[in-house]
Chain A
Amino acid sequence: MPSASTSSALPAAAGGLLSARSLACRRGRRLLFKGLDLNLAAGSITWLRGTNGSGKTSLLRMLAGLSAPADGQITLNGPVLYIGHANALKDDLTLGESVAFWAQLAGLDEPRARASRALAALGLANREQAAVRTLSQGQRRRGCLARLALDEAPRTWILDEPFDALDAHSVQVLSGLIEAHAQRGGAVLLTSHQAVVLAGVRELDLEPWRAA
């Protein structure tokens, strides 16, 4: 199995799919981290690490464009696909309808066909017509992650705890998707409390930038 190379800093460099310089994050009155530089190059997989409350999710949300940094600059060279803690699935829709909706919103053609293929890639072909409310937590997570298989554009994937609730086989499937995406020239930034075993993965530890 490939192992992760550890680094406490990923230098900010031009030409990445996503780069950030001197980022600071504040939540309420509390400064979580400051002075963070990072660059997500095409083909890279980065595992963002940090203790609970260190600002991992806040950083991912900032990079995705959901919140503004307290300081610093983020440069995006291309679209971002963000998957957060919540699965963004509707209990009253079927899994196929839910995924097709996101394909439609992403401006992809043939959303239903794409949704079917994506769900099959995540091993959910037989649950496509099932109402989301009838699915287990793991199946919901896989249904959410099916968005990763909707197209093959080499964009930046920002994934917040994508391995949560997944069984061993699903972890393998997701790892395969992430590695294939990096090989296509995409960039992946993810958090995980489980050990991440992915080819060429780099670690980014938030601790050095934590504010006192």
Chain B
Amino acid sequence: MSNAFVAVVQRDLRLAGRRRIEALLPLGFFVVASGLFPIGVSPEPQTLQTIAPGVVWVCALLAAMLSVTQMFTSDHQDGSLEQMLLAPQPLILLALGKVAAHWITSGLPLVVAAPLIGVMFDMNADAIGMMVLTLLMGTPILSLLGAVGGALTLGLRSGAALVFLLVLPLTIPALIFGTGAVGAINGGQSAQAHLSLLGALLIVTLLGAPLATAAALRISMD
């Protein structure tokens, strides 16, 4: 593992640890927004089980988007980013380090909290397990795509809004396969196809997004 990658991850985790409220915001949004649906739609168990995969995934997606807009902003404002661009280490590794730290602080808590939301929606154990698995595979995709959007809109006015417009359409496949896998389990079918596609999507994003992020950062800083 590259020293630079580890250094960036460690630094960002340390920063998140010292900005706890900011770091917990996506998790708070996820729990609160998901919790509103049983109240606003219907408390009927049957209805809740039906809408649960979609609600959980959409809330996870929006929660992830809340924080990706800030992934590079602070480094850009304080001059850290231009120093990263000049570091002797490959920028791709540094971008990957930023994404990894973002996922650990924003995506992983959503995965951990997902069973709680599942219980709230009266999901059975198999469906909850599948939802956790799809979020485990899907939230890194959200962080990776968010990094591209964050890098592209760096320094722009209304950059946060642009990130939503740029990234949300790209996350639709992950949303479809993620909710589809849970829906398949609910319907007594195999979720293998959905999981395979979600896995393929993760691999493709993992290979392409850091490259795109690094290129976007160079363009944004020029």
Contacts and interface: CB of A to CB of B under 8 A. Distances in A.
Greatest chain A CB density within 10 A among B19, B74, B79, B87 is at B79
Given A67-B222, A88-B78, A93 B83 contact: no
Given A67-B222, A86-B78, A102 B83 contact: yes
Contacts of A53: none
A209 B179 CA distance: 61
Interface string B83-112: 111111100001000000000000000000
B15 A88 contact: no
B7 interface: yes
A79 B150 CA distance: 29
A193 interface: no
B180 to A, nearest CB: 40
A104 B3 contact: yes
B80 A88 contact: yes
A105 B82 CA distance: 13
A68 B78 contact: no
Nearest to B15: A92
Given A86-B78, A88-B79, A90-B80, A104 B221 contact: no
A35 interface: no
A212 B70 CA distance: 40
| Chain B interface main SS type | helix
A106 interface: yes
**Chain A interface size range:** 20 to 34
A148 interface: no
B19 A66 contact: no
A66 B81 CA distance: 11
A91 B22 CA distance: 14
Nearest to B76: A86
B157 interface: no
Nearest to A97: B14
A162 to B, nearest CB: 13
B82 A101 contact: no
A10 to B, nearest CB: 23
Contacts of A91: 78
Interface string A65-105: 11110000000000110101111111111000100011011
Greatest chain B CB density within 10 A among A68, A79, A93, A104 is at A104
A88 B82 CA distance: 9
B176 to A, nearest CB: 38
Contacts of A107: 3-4, 88-89
A92 B12 CA distance: 11
Nearest to B11: A101
B88 A79 contact: yes
Contact of A105 (B19, B74, B87): B87
B217 to A, nearest CB: 11
Given A66-B222, A97-B14, A104-B4, A88 B83 contact: yes
Interface of A: 61, 64-68, 79-80, 82, 84-93, 97, 101-102, 104-107
13 contacts: A65-B86, A67-B221, A79-B88, A82-B82, A82-B86, A88-B78, A88-B79, A90-B11, A90-B15, A92-B15, A101-B11, A105-B84, A106-B88
The 5 closest A-B pairs by CB, nearest first: A86-B79, A88-B79, A104-B7, A92-B18, A67-B222
